[in-house]
Amino acid sequence: MTDEENWQAPGSQGPSGQEGQQPPQYGQQQPPQYGQQQPGWQQQYGPAYAQPGWTPPPKPGLIPLRPLTLGPLLAAPFQALRRNPRITVGAALLLQGIPSIVVTVLVAGAIALLVGRLVSGDISDQPALRAGLIGGTVVLGVLSLVITSIFSALLQGVIVGDVARESLGEKLTFRALWQLIRGRIGALIGWTLLFALAWIVALALVAAIVVALAMLGGPAGTIGAVLVGIFGGLGLIPLAVWINTKLAMVPSAIVLERLPLRAAVQRSWRLTNGYFWRTFGIIALVGVIVYAITQVIGIPFGLLGGFLGGVFAPTSASSSSGETMTQLLVTQLSVNVLASIVTSIVGAIGSVIQTAAVSLLYIDLRMRKEGLDLELVRFVEGRQTGQDLSDPYLPPAQRPQQFPQQPPAGWQAG
């Protein structure tokens, strides 16, 4: 027999029970199961080179400490509501739901007052009253945007901090979370206002061009205004998708890495490089889910308003009586106010889910691009042994190296 015919894989046995030299037949040898040692491996190369068994990454809290797939990314934001409802739901109501309701009521009352003055004013005062109505509406809108942006920034900071610590198995109180984000509130509010202002300026620029072209008069001006309005509005849509996705990680970078505003913008831009469509797809999918839930809860109130209007004022369609119309308006207004309150509460909780999803995307991107999962595992293991460890979410330059890399057992320099 030739050498090739006598050859046999290490660890295999021939007919006499000893290690032979016969090549394996196709289909007889099966690859070792994942996490198991290959037969004969220790016999041939010694225990120092044995393949260790595979163990799953730990899941101390909200997510497993490994790059995340779509399932955990969609499920974890909803689990965050259940794991720490005092923080998530409580922060949603305190920082967005209640302020949104108060601002809506105040703005609606002020606009109703201005409209009432316009309707009851003298004819000679109509131009001034109309100008006051327009100016007051603009001022109220800006004020509403500022207040909403401030509380939205605070909510983002709380949820980002809560999701990051829950991922490590920690369940912080609102006081502890506030201590975590207290130094980052100014940057969060500044970013939220600046981002909203940038889009307001972009929309105002398109609207100003449309108005300027329309004021030129003639067919050319009208056609130009229509074209700029259509293509300018449509052009802002892909621009908004691109910019919003690239900058979605800014609040997380501000809170968790404690970066200044400009550095946080650059950080978000770099993190999403190579993962733009994945990031956009998950954010959009979560947004669609939250919108569908909001509509499912909000639509019945609209139907209820029409039903109650028909019950309390069944002849309102055919009657012009002031009392009947007043009864119908009061009923509709009451139901609309109730629907606005419910929608505000559900919208606040939806904001928590969306913010939590973006925070998890930020953690996932750092795991994929920087090996953050290894740092988180080391932090969890070190915490279990009672070590005093620095925050693993901080950049390496801002924290000491707690866990120097050690060569594997049995390794020797060549």
| Secondary structure string (H, E, C) spanning the chain | CCHHHHCCCCCCECCCCCECCCCCCCCCCCCCCCCCCCCCHHHHHCHHHCCCCCCCCCCCCCCCCCCCCHHHHHHHHHHHHHHCHHHHHHHHHHHHHHHHHHHHHHHHHHHHHHHHHHHHCCHHHHHHHHHHHHHHHHHHHHHHHHHHHHHHHHHHHHHHHHHHHHCCCCCCCHHHHHHHHHHHHHHHHHHHHHHHHHHHHHHHHHHHHHHHHHHCCHHHHHHHHHHHHHHHHHHHHHHHHHHHHHCCCHHHHHHHCCCCHHHHHHHHHHHCCCCHHHHHHHHHHHHHHHHHHHHHHHHHHHHHHHHHHHHHCCCCCCCCCHHHHHHHHHHHHHHHHHHHHHHHHHHHHHHHHHHHHHHHHHHHHHHHHHCHHHHHHHHHHHHHCCCCCCCCCCCHHHCCCCCCCCCCCCCCCC
369: nearest Cα among 301, 269, 242, 226: 269
Contact indicator for 62, 76 with CB cutoff of 8 Å: yes
Two structure tokens written together for 373: 């999962």
Alpha-carbon 268 to chain mean position: 13
pLDDT value at residue 2:
46
Q: How far apart are CA 29 and CA 33, in angstroms?
A: 12
Q: Please list, in sequence order, all residues whose beta carbon lies within 8 angstroms of the beta carbon of residue 359, skipping any fewer than 6 positions away.
A: 159, 160, 163, 164, 252
pTM: 0.74
Q: Which residues pair with 205 in a beta bridge?
A: none
Per DSSP, what are the bridge partners of residue 19?
13
Say if residues 394 and 195 touch (Cβ distance below 8 Å): no
Question: Looking at residue 216, what is its pLDDT?
Answer: 81
User: How many whole angstroms separate alpha carbon 324 and alpha carbon 340?
Assistant: 24
Tokens encoding 164: 């990051």
* Alpha-carbon span 258 to 264, nearest angstrom: 8
pLDDT at 400: 59
The strand pairing partners of 13, in sequence order, are 19
Regions of the chain with pLDDT less than 70: 1-57, 121, 301-302, 304-337, 398-414
Residues near 121 by Cβ (< 8 Å), separated by ≥ 6? 129
* Tens-digit pLDDT profile for residues 313-367: 555 444 445 555 556 556 666 666 677 777 778 888 888 999 999 999 999 999 9
131 burial type by CB count under 10 A (0-12 exposed, 13-18 middle, 19+ buried): exposed
